[in-house]
Each structure stands twice: as structure tokens, then as C-alpha cells.
Amino acid sequence: MPLTLAAAQSDLLSKLGIEDVSVATDLMQQDVIIAINGAMQTLQSAGEDYFTRQKLLLTLGVGTSVYSIAGVQAVLGPVRLNDSIPLRALESRGEIDQFDRIFLGGTDYGSIAGTPMAYWVEYLRQGSAGNIQQVNIWLAPPTAASVLPATLAVEVVDAATSYSAADLATNALLPISQNYGESIFLPIARYLITRSSQFSRPDILAGLTADYQSAMQRLGLFGGFPNVDQSGTKPPRKVQA
């Protein structure tokens, strides 16, 4: 049974000495949410080995070379045309701007519409409040009418789910593989709740810290962060019995 938001909440409140959820103050509930969101974000940024890899389908339009995707933390690749033909990653905006010149021996800037061969992922800041992340996928060449209808299957890591105190009442399931619920997610969240102003259990702090460190170590061993380690030589999975 995967972890529910309510189960995580009562577990974290117990670390603040609250055995009955109904008596928790708003401040405590807020600290619980911060701890849950913090642990979610840590797990979400740990890489695809934690079931964060997700497939997104975009519908291609005639001559459109850029597609914005929302709510995505990172594009992992591969990016595939019609869910079958892999496209090649480009390394810079310059390669998109001079695609025909560099890769196809042409003289024009950009690329003439045809069957997409390559993509480049652009990460931009947008706006000045809230989620400022914008992810754009550039295609080269842009899709010609003869190629349509066509889709783009993009493998991504979604942005971490962000909860508010109001969500605690919904008893929702946390979007975490149950393999990592108690072993990684909860130790991290428990450690984060110790940073609450309501935490007054120095007797369990050492144990929670040790559990947290062990969970973070597990996070490093089980998976790898793709944005850091792209060399293809991931550290071996040293899972111990």
C-alpha cells in the first residue's frame, strides 16, 4: 500500500509530539507540508531510477519548430517522432540556428521544414512569480505538412508535486513508488520536520539524522542524478541485503 498524505502527516506530527492530528496547530501543519514538499522535491530530483521518468506526447504542427511544455523539471530524452523514430540531441542553440549549415551542408540559417531529425531543449526563466520555469523543445527541421499527422514522444521528469495544508484533508496517495516510501521518503521528511520550531525531541534527533543520512546515501546508490551524471558511466548499483 503506497503512503498516503495522511499517513505521512501523522508520522511527521508524531515527531513533534502530537499523537492526535486534530490537535495540531496550523503552524505545525504548515511545517508538515514543508517537510513533505521538501522530501518530494529531493526524491524527484534524484533521477529516473526513482520512477520519475514520464512520457509526454506532443502533437506536431506544420512548420512549428518550438514546443513549450509546462510542469516539467527536466527533459531526459529520448525524444521520438511518432513514438518510434529517435531524434538526435543538439548541444546548443547555435546548432539549431545553423542546423542546415552544420549538419546538412546547406547555406541557409535554421532549417527548411521536413521530417524532424534533431531536438534541442531550452530551459528559460519566465515571469517573476510562482513557477518561473519554462521548458522549450526545439525541433530541426520543423515538421513539413507531408509528415503530419505526427506526434513527439518526450521522456521527462515532471516537476515535484507541491502540496498545501488544504491537501492534508484529502487523504491522497503520495506519488511515490512504494519501494521508496518508508525507506527514503519518510526518513528525509522526518529529518526536515526536525527543523520545525515546534520540534522539541532532542532524544530522537540523532536517530532521525542517522536515518536521513542513510536514506540520502541510498538515494545516491540506487540511482543517479541525470543532470549531473550524463557520461553513461553511472556508479554501479551496490544494493546490499
Partner 1 sequence: MSISTVQLAARVARRSRTGDVTRLSMSEQEDVIAACNGALQRLFNALPAYFKEQTQGFLLPAPQIIQGIGAIQYGVTLTGIVLAANQIGQTIVLDGDQGWNQIMAIDPIAQTVSLLNPFMGPTGTTSATIYGNALYSTDYPFDRIIGNPIFANAALTPLMRTDMIRANGNDASWIFQQSVGQPQAWWTQVFGESQGKTPLVVLRFAPAPDQAYAVNVRLAFWPRLLTLTDLQSARPVFVPDQFIHPSLIPMAIQEFMQYPSFLSRKDEKQVDQKGKEGEKWAKDQLGQIGVPNNRIYTPVGY
Q: Contact positions toward partner 1, by CB under 8 A?
A: 77-78, 86, 88-91, 95, 103-105, 117-118, 231-232
Q: Which is nearer to partner 1, 82 or 213 (CB)?
A: 82
Which C-beta is closer to partner 1: that of 105 or that of 149?
Answer: 105
Q: Which is nearer to partner 1, 104 or 173 (by Cβ)? A: 104
Residue in 190, 129, 154 with CA at minimum distance from that of residue 54: 154
Residue whose CB is less far from partner 1, 51 or 103: 103
To partner 1, the closest distance from the beta carbon of 78 in angstroms equals 7
Question: 214: which residues sit within 8 A by CB, 6+ positions away?
Answer: 187
Supply the minimum distance, in Å, between the C-beta of residue 222 and partner 1. 21
b/e 5-40 (16+ beta carbons within 10 angstroms → b) = bbbbbbbbbebbebeebeebeeebbebbbbbbbbbb
In 100-190, which ranges are E strands?
Answer: 118-125, 133-140, 151-158
Least Å from the CB of residue 118 to partner 1: 5
Residue with cell 496547530: 25
Using the Cα atoms of residue 161, residue 165, residue 166 and residue 167 in order, give the sign of their dihedral: positive
We find the least distance from the C-beta atom of residue 57 to partner 1, in angstroms, to be 20
